[in-house]
């Protein structure tokens, strides 16, 4: 399987990738594979599959990745967290992932299990993604490792400056590429990118983009990720909140324009958070490739 770092080095144009999550129902499983099949027609450069909160879907994540690898010729990336596991358990899981032929990880601290308000280090485990990545490197399993970054700062960081200092330590620990939290204001991402380059972070930094498919998502994204939204976008979408076709058209136009501006800015690719839905992600990448 091709390493993601190699894909970015050898790419002749923008790298397009998709993120999926493990469904909770058999109907969701069927829907996910329909989505993967549809999006595979776009020849994505790679796909990622997340863990549930607290690492609750670890086995299912690996199962989905194996199925995608078996049925589609697309490199895969497994999310990997340190929630609820000590270093011996993490080592065992890493060895199991590697034995399945998976060579790409998104190494994240991870969210606490559902119902727990804040992250708590497991006895014998790790405090954050930097410690986790350092451990993965020490195991010499030859993974390509991606990490997360936050253009509007990590919610636990007091300032963006503090967050970027931690980000640099994470890269120095062995991170090969970074994928950002979702955002909707390109100037925020551009300022963040200039900042991380100024402090010496040189790995690829990939914007994570989330298509808006309902007006209710705006408040959810604000709450979940602390995202700033352009007031013009909110007004534009609120005007057609109850007209699904026009809402979709306006939202799609915004996201395509956002991605084109980012590509013009020089980003090496676009990573789309699909929410296991193919329609919007398919139309966006088709427009960008067209």
Residues known to be catalytic: 19
Kindly list the distances between the CA atom of residue 47 and the CA atoms of 26, 66, 90, 246, in Å, as whole numbers in the listed order: 21, 12, 23, 29
Q: Which of 102, 38, 107, 97 has its CA nearest to residue 75?
A: 102
User: What's the chain's length in residues?
Assistant: 290
CA 126 to chain centre: 21
What is the DSSP pairing of strand 76-81 with strand 269-273? unpaired
3-state secondary structure of 218: helix
Residues with Cβ < 8 Å from 164, sequence gap 6 or more? Answer: 192, 195, 196, 199, 201
Report CA torsion sign: 77, 79, 82, 85: negative
């Amino acid at each position: 399987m091709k390493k993601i770092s190699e894909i970015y080095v050898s790419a002749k144009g923008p790298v397009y990738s998709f993120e999926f999550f493990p469904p909770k129902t058999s109907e969701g499983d069927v829907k996910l594979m329909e989505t993967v099949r549809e999006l595979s027609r776009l020849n994505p450069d790679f796909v990622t599959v997340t863990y549930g909160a607290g690492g609750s879907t670890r086995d299912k994540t690996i199962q989905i990745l194996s199925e995608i690898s078996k049925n589609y010729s697309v490199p895969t990336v497994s999310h990997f967290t340190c929630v609820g596991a000590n270093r011996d358990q993490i080592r065992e899981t890493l060895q199991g992932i590697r034995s399945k032929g998976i060579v790409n990880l998104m190494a994240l601290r991870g969210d606490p299990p559902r119902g727990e308000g804040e992250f708590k280090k497991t006895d014998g485990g790790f405090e954050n993604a930097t410690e986790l990545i350092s451990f993965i490197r020490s195991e010499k399993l030859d993974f390509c490792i991606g990490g997360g970054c936050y253009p509007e700062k990590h919610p636990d960081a007091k300032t963006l400056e503090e967050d970027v200092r931690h980000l640099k330590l994470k890269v120095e620990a062995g991170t090969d590429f970074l994928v950002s939290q979702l955002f909707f204001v390109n100037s925020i991402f551009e300022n963040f990118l200039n900042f991380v380059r100024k402090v010496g972070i040189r790995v690829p930094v990939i914007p994570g983009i989330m298509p808006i498919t309902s007006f209710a998502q705006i408040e959810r994204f604000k709450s979940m990720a602390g995202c700033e939204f352009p007031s013009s976008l909110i007004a534009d979408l609120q005007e057609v909140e109850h007209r699904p076709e026009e809402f979709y058209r306006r939202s799609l136009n915004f996201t395509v324009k956002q991605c084109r501006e980012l590509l013009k800015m020089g980003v090496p690719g676009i990573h789309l958070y699909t929410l296991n839905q193919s329609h919007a992600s398919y139309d966006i990448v088709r427009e960008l490739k067209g």
